[in-house]
């Protein structure tokens, strides 16, 4: 008989809590367990506390996971729910990603105060984003507009937009859907024109390696095709040593046992980009991503990466 609830670790933002609640609901349904069999533990992370400078300057992606992973290693929580795009490619020893929930829409959403699309923004307009990937792709498509650093959770960014701090912003469609905020979207950016971040739209669940009980509990909610797509995208990212310091975009799709992949690297100012694609048996997902990363490195040449420091 279970003596204590399964402890689910999460950040405290509204979106992070929505993802933790979704995970709990899926586990409850999969195992016919009551809500009180799980406890959601909110853990303060550096990435949420640091608001005065870009994350790239403060330490990168690990700022959203470090304290939660410490709680996992200490045994204070049993599993951790993360946005996959926030996960570094190298995890602490003793931890692994055990489960991916089925991926949501990967597209970026454009939210304008007056303009309905990115193309509609007038010359000299201001668009806010904290993502180097989004900043670089915006500058690539619209070098005539001003892209500014724009930190804060979803609600903070929407409030700043309404107050006129910027003319528009971009947010992940998946996150807005999970928060019930689809109504604020003025248009969606097709992945063919505006590639998402590696892992965008997917929730992942991390636990201790060898924790057979938790791994067995998580197994029924794992979505295999999402896991394969993310293995490819994360391998691409790892081959490029990617982090919050680097503008990298990637998207893998699994259909009928086949995997198709597209990746892109950009100069931060959008002045130079390189794209790569790959396809193969989905079982070779990680190899496809690693190979694409190696090929795009060779294609871009060593000088391209001098801006990535």
How big is the CA angle at 100 (ends 99 and 103), to the nearest 5 degrees? 170
Residue-wise DSSP of the chain: ---SPEEEEE-SSHHHHHHHHHHHHHHHHHHT--GGGEEEEE---HHHH--SS-HHHHT-GGGGTHHHHHHHHHTS-SEEEEEGGG--SSPPTTEEEEEEPPP----EEEEESS-SSTTTSPTT-EEE-S-HHHHHHHHHH-TTSEEE---S-HHHHHHHHHTTS-SEEEEEHHHHHHTT-GGG-SEEE-TTTSPPPTTTT-EEEEEETT-HHHHHHHGGG--HHHHHHHHHHHHHHHHTT-STTS-EEEEEEEETTEEEEEEEEE-TTSS-EEEEEEEEEGGGHHHHHHHHHHHHHHHH-GGGGGG--
Contact call for residues 171 and 200 (beta carbons, < 8 A):
no
Q: Catalytic site residue 120?
A: no
Name residues whose C-beta falls within 8 Å of residue 40's C-beta, 6 or more positions apart in sequence.
8, 10, 17, 20, 21, 24
CA geometry: angle 45, 49, 51, nearest 5 deg:
135
Q: Which of 78, 86, 108, 291 is catalytic?
A: 86
Q: Residue 102 and residue 203: Cα distance in Å, rounded? A: 8
- Locate 42 and state its tokens: 């909110």
Give the residue numbers annotated as catalytic, written as ranges. 86
């Amino acid at each position: 008989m279970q003596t204590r609830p399964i402890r689910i670790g999460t950040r405290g933002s509204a979106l992070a809590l929505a993802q933790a609640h979704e995970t709990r609901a899926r586990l409850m349904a999969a195992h016919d367990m009551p809500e009180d069999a799980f406890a959601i533990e909110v853990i303060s992370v550096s990435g949420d506390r640091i608001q005065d400078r870009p994350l790239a300057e403060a330490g990168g992606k690990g700022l959203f996971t470090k304290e939660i992973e410490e709680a996992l290693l200490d045994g204070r929580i049993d599993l951790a729910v993360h946005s996959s795009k926030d996960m570094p490619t190298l995890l602490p020893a003793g931890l692994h990603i055990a489960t991916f929930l089925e991926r949501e829409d990967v597209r970026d959403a454009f939210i304008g105060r007056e303009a309905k699309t990115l193309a509609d923004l007038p010359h000299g307009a201001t668009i806010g984003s904290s993502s180097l990937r989004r900043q670089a792709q915006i500058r690539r498509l619209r070098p005539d507009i001003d892209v500014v650093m724009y930190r804060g959770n979803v609600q903070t960014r929407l409030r700043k937009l309404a107050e006129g701090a910027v003319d528009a912003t971009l947010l992940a469609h998946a996150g807005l859907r999970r928060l019930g905020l689809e109504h604020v979207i003025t248009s969606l950016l097709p992945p063919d024109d505006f590639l998402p971040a590696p892992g965008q739209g997917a929730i992942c669940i991390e636990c201790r390696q060898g924790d057979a009980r938790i791994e067995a509990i998580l197994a029924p909610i794992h979505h295999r095709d999402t896991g394969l797509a993310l293995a490819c995208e994360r391998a691409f990212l790892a081959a490029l040593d990617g982090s919050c310091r680097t503008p990298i975009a990637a998207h893998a799709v699994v259909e009928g046992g086949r995997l198709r992949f597209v990746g892109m690297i950009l100069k931060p100012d959008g002045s130079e980009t390189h794209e790569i694609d790959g396809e193969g048996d989905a079982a070779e997902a990680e190899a496809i991503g690693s190979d694409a990363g190696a090929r795009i490195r060779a294609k871009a040449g060593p000088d391209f990466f001098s801006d990535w420091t």
